[in-house]
Amino acid sequence: MNNFFFIAFAHLSLSLGLTAKAPPPELTQDFWNDPAFVRGFMGDYGFRSEVEPRIDKSEQFILREVVAKAENQLEDAVVYLEEKIKPKTSAALDFALGTMYYQLGRLTRSEQTYEKALGKFPSFLRARKNLGFVQLSLGKLDAASQNLAKAISLGEADGISYVALGYCHLSLGRVVSAENAYRMGILLHPQSLDARNGLVNCLLTTNRYPEALALLDELLETKPNDLFCHKARASALQGLGREQDAVIALETLRRMNKLDAAGTLSLGDLYHNLGLNELSLASYQQALTKKQKLSLSRYARAAKALINRGSYGAGFKYLEEIQKTFGNGYSKDDEREIRMLQAEVRIATGKREEAAKIIEEIIQKHPLDGEALLLSARLATEELDYARAALRFERAAKLPEFEVTALIGHARMLVGAKDYQLASDLLERAQTLSPQPRVARYLKAINNLNLSARKSL
């Protein structure tokens, strides 16, 4: 029956940004195959009277029949037990049925059946704990955390429950609670890699890089080829400002042929930070060849890094490679990001007409794109098309996120058009929304120009 205990989980890819970032929380497949989890979840269909319901002789007979059938005919056992369960039968039968549903991968039915068992017997410890695990499998992390915590309060003291609770808390951003749970998990189940990985995540998330590094170095002594540890170690080193050491950590993985696309992009980011442009570009290009399903925006960020440092040719080439790799298989938002980067490259290389055309296409598809509206207004201002620029600035100013920037840009355009009074009015409004010393100085200078202009009349 052990093959029924394996429940597959999609694992989040680990990624490091331009700044140190904790790997996302995840549970390994070993967690679900752990004998401690299997024993704790399934038990032997027995019950503890102080926290679990009593069963009469007839129900004991039913359970014996169910267990016998389940050995080789689990589906038949489920059908048999479904017919025996009534509103007044013991919660023990619901528990057994919920567990069998879980074995068959029928998680929603399992959840519903455990809830029925708890409706009959609220202090049913194993039903409470198993419900938490099922909800964890279903991605209902908040509900899972509540049921796992309740099971612990009822007396459950196995390390696996604490590890699962820590995972729920960390995934929900409750880092302190997660750390406490993971530490208990390590204490009660010291061989659990998930507990130690989770604790590392907590330390990185709270910027305790020296503590995380010490723990990771300890783990790598016993598991020198552990992928998570090497990546998390690179993140800790980066957080400590030791970017060259972080590069070595990721290069070690790459030479072991264990660096995935996310890690390869991170390596490119580190080379970018160190000014090693050729190595940076090579890493970005290698990441694309891996053809792993990262978000297109992660690859686009690499292109943006190239463009921002002035490597326009490399940036443009990389954008072309992204398009070639992804084809038409990306969303409207992803397409918009790529097109904006293409426009930026063209502006930087003096191809303003081509850039303007791209931006107009973006605005047609995304009328409320503040970034595109502002870029369009900037290009129109440079062409001295003040009427068009004003329309774009006014539209952008209606978007709260871009209002202040649009007001300041519009004011600068009006200064170029020598409309000092309206420019002053717009800057006054911008200062009311978000006071800035440099804008205050600019406003003062414009008011002086306005005053001089009036005196000369």
pLDDT digits (tens, 9 = 90+) for 365-416: 888 989 899 999 999 998 899 999 999 999 999 999 999 999 999 999 998 8
Domain segments of the chain as ranges: 262-366, 370-457
Cα of 164 vs its chain's centroid, Å: 18
Please say if the pLDDT value at position 269 is more than 70: yes
Give the pLDDT of residue 388. Answer: 92
For residues 396 and 381, is the Cβ–Cβ distance under 8 A? no
pLDDT tens column, 82-94? 888 888 888 888 8
Give the pLDDT band (50/70/90) at residue 45.
Answer: very low
Give the pLDDT of residue 15. Answer: 27
Residue 456: CB atoms within 10 A of its CB come to 6
Please say if the pLDDT value at position 152 is more than 60: yes
pLDDT tens column, 423-452? 899 999 999 999 999 989 988 888 888 777
Give the pLDDT of residue 329. Answer: 58
Over residues 335-364, mean pLDDT: 84
Query: Hey, what CATH topology would domain 370-457 get?
Result: 1.25.40
User: What is the C-alpha to C-alpha distance for residues 431 and 419, in angstroms, rounded to an integer?
Assistant: 19
Q: Mention the CATH class of domain 262-366.
A: mainly alpha
Over residues 107-136, mean pLDDT: 92
Cite the DSSP H helix spans in 104-158: 107-120, 125-137, 141-153
| Amino acid, single-letter form, for residue 52 | E
Q: How is residue 10 annotated by DSSP?
A: P
pTM over 0.85: no
* Residues in contact with 56: Cβ distance below 8 Å, sequence separation at least 6, in sequence order: 90
Cα of 94 vs its chain's centroid, Å: 36
3-state secondary structure of 50: coil
Mean pLDDT value across the chain: 82
